[in-house]
């Protein structure tokens, strides 16, 4: 299996929020401590398969080294779902992670948004060369002027992080609620429209199309474009045009507060933060109100199981069968951008891409407080790994899960042939019952 070298170093490039300052202001360390390793038990759920034990061993060693309490893995090969597992490394009294438990996907949401955009392009309702200013009403706050270069921001440039916004030069609007609320003189929670109004009054950091800079805000704009062009909500369009045809029923947009996260794993962070979901000023666990999950919708807002994420990739692995994106559209998704790129790989339309003989390796990672995720494909093999916490203050290489899982794949002598799709997804011809 060919590993896309350099992926392990992409945490910064792929959207991890800053560790010192986040949406509501300075962070503080929570007082509650996780269970000590001696008090934890290892549990694995789902149908075990000795032929794929290398994946179990990899997930176990990775999670135990980092004291990750909940994880999940799914593996598909040539369109068949072969392995779906839930893993727990926690106090025996704590819930056991099930294969169907859902996790926040963080920036693994970006390929989903990009696919929705390409679906609109393929059906003739949108063009990659359309200008964002022709699709959305972007007005700055009173007394401020929009950067005239906004007219050069196209749909394609938003998808490829070439829109001209650079969080390393200025700030990340999706993680700057306090700054934006103060600047606009509005209360919490912020809406996407609040963020758009504030950012439209700020200068671009680069001329559009000239500099790659990972940009969560660009994907917020894409979510708004999808809603505007489709005439329905972003979530409804993705559900109807992508998820439902693939028989994915568990995926939905996530919520900020714990009482609104039914069916999801518990998200762990050692930090607390000031609430950005109301004006109470309360100190909350960072994953539960310390940032606004609702405004993350198109850049990092989806929740789903590992099996769901792998099933989503079916439309890329088996386009003729899935009939969502054509082979020509997928080729466009993987094409090189007009600017940017690294040693042998680049960011296409919502995916990191490394061309290899006969195809390409593609992947995306995701990171937010309480979440670390990875989705990768190569040569007909698709792997998704989801975790309920991310790197916070340790010296371990969290990105090594990528090469470790490819090593696990290389260790498989004989791949099983039993397809588990029917175990985790409705049958062909399934029609949802409307309330």
> Quick one: pLDDT at residue 432?
64
Average pLDDT over residues 246-263: 94
Residue 265's contacts (CB-CB under 8 Å, 6 or more residues apart) are: 70, 97, 101, 102, 103, 388
What does the mean pLDDT of the chain come to? 93
The string of pLDDT tens digits covering residues 298-348 is 999 999 999 999 999 999 999 999 999 999 999 999 999 999 999 999 999
Please report whether residue 432 resides in a domain.
no
Please report whether residue 329 resides in a domain.
yes
Least confident range of 11-25, 156-170, 279-293, 349-363: 11-25
Please report whether residue 142 resides in a domain.
yes
Give me the CATH number covering residue 409: 3.40.710.10
Query: 176 to each of 123, 183, 212, 299, 310, how far by Cα in Å?
Result: 36, 11, 21, 15, 32
Please report whether residue 353 resides in a domain.
yes
> Quick one: pLDDT at residue 35?
66
Q: Which two tokens stand for residue 32?
A: 């509650």
Of 72, 107, 256, 367, the active-site residue reads 107
Q: Which two tokens stand for residue 378?
A: 């190569």
Q: Which two tokens stand for residue 18?
A: 């800053």
> Quick one: pLDDT at residue 170?
98
| Residues pairing with 260 in the sheet | none
The DSSP H or E segment spanning 362 is: strand 359-368
Q: Is the pTM of this model over 0.85?
A: yes
On whether the CB atoms of residues 80 and 207 are closer than 8 A, the answer is: no
Which domain range does residue 145 map to? 7-424
At 428, the pLDDT band (50, 70, 90 cuts) reads confident
> How large is the greatest C-alpha to C-alpha distance in the chain, in angstroms?
66
Please report whether residue 435 resides in a domain.
no
Query: What is the count of structural domains for the chain?
Result: 1
Please report whether residue 429 resides in a domain.
no
> Quick one: pLDDT at residue 26?
53
Q: How far is Cα 383 from Cα 310, in angstroms, rounded to an integer?
A: 7
> Quick one: pLDDT at residue 5?
37
Please report whether residue 169 resides in a domain.
yes
On whether the CB atoms of residues 218 and 174 are closer than 8 A, the answer is: no
Q: How far is Cα 91 from Cα 109, in angstroms, rounded to an integer?
A: 30
| Residues pairing with 320 in the sheet | none
Residue 333's contacts (CB-CB under 8 Å, 6 or more residues apart) are: 114, 115, 118, 316, 325, 348, 349, 350, 351
Q: How far is Cα 336 from Cα 253, in angstroms, rounded to an integer?
A: 30
Residue 170 known to be catalytic: no
Query: 347 to each of 150, 264, 397, how far by Cα in Å?
Result: 21, 30, 22
At 8, the pLDDT band (50, 70, 90 cuts) reads very low
> Quick one: pLDDT at residue 24?
72
Q: How many CA atoms lie within 13 A of 170 on its CB side?
A: 18
Q: How far is Cα 77 from Cα 400, in angstroms, rounded to an integer?
A: 22
pLDDT above 50 for 19: no
Query: 335 to each of 9, 113, 341, 345, how far by Cα in Å?
Result: 22, 17, 11, 11
pLDDT above 80 for 11: no
pLDDT above 90 for 261: no
> Quick one: pLDDT at residue 27?
64
Least confident range of 18-27, 146-155, 222-231, 394-403: 18-27
């Amino acid at each position: 299996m060919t590993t896309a070298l350099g992926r392990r170093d992409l945490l910064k490039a792929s959207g991890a929020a800053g560790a010192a300052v986040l949406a509501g202001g300075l962070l503080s360390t929570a007082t509650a401590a996780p269970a000590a390793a001696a008090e934890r038990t290892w549990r694995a759920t789902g149908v075990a398969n000795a032929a794929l034990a290398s994946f179990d061993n990899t997930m176990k060693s990775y999670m135990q080294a980092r004291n990750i309490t909940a994880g999940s893995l799914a593996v598909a090969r040539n369109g068949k779902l072969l392995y779906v597992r839930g893993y727990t490394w926690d106090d025996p009294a704590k819930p056991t992670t099930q294969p169907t438990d859902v996790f926040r996907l963080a920036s693994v949401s970006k390929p989903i948004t990009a696919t929705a955009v390409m679906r609109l392009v393929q059906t003739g309702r949108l063009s990659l060369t359309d200008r964002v200013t022709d699709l959305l009403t972007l007005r700055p706050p009173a007394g401020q002027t929009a950067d005239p270069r906004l007219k050069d921001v196209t749909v394609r440039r938003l998808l490829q992080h070439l829109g001209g916004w650079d969080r390393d030069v200025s700030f990340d609007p999706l993680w700057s609620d306090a700054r934006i609320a103060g600047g606009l003189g509005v209360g919490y929670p912020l809406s996407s429209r609040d963020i758009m109004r504030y950012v439209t009054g700020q200068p671009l950091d680069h001329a559009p199309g000239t500099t790659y800079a990972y940009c969560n805000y660009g994907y917020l704009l894409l979510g708004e474009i999808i809603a505007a062009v489709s005439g329905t909500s972003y979530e409804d369009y993705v559900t109807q045009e992508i998820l439902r045809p693939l028989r994915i029923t568990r995926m939905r947009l996530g919520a900020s507060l714990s009482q609104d996260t039914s069916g999801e794993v518990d998200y762990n962070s050692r930090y607390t933060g000031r609430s950005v979901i109301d004006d109470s000023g309360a100190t909350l666990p960072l994953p539960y109100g310390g940032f606004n999950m609702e405004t993350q919708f198109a850049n990092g807002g989806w929740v789903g199981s590992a099996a769901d994420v792998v099933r989503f990739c079916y439309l890329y692995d088996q386009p003729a069968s899935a009939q969502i994106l054509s082979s020509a559209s997928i080729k466009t998704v993987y094409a090189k951008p007009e600017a940017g790129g690294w040693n042998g790989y680049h960011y296409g339309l919502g995916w990191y891409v490394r061309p290899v003989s006969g195809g390409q390796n593609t992947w995306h990672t995701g990171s937010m407080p309480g979440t670390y995720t990875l989705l990768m494909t190569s040569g007909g093999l698709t792997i998704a790994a989801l975790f309920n916490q991310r790197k916070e203050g340790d010296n371990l290489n969290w990105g090594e899960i990528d090469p470790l899982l490819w090593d696990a794949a290389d260790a498989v002598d004989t791949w099983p042939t039993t397809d588990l799709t029917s175990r985790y997804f409705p049958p062909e011809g399934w029609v949802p019952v409307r309330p």
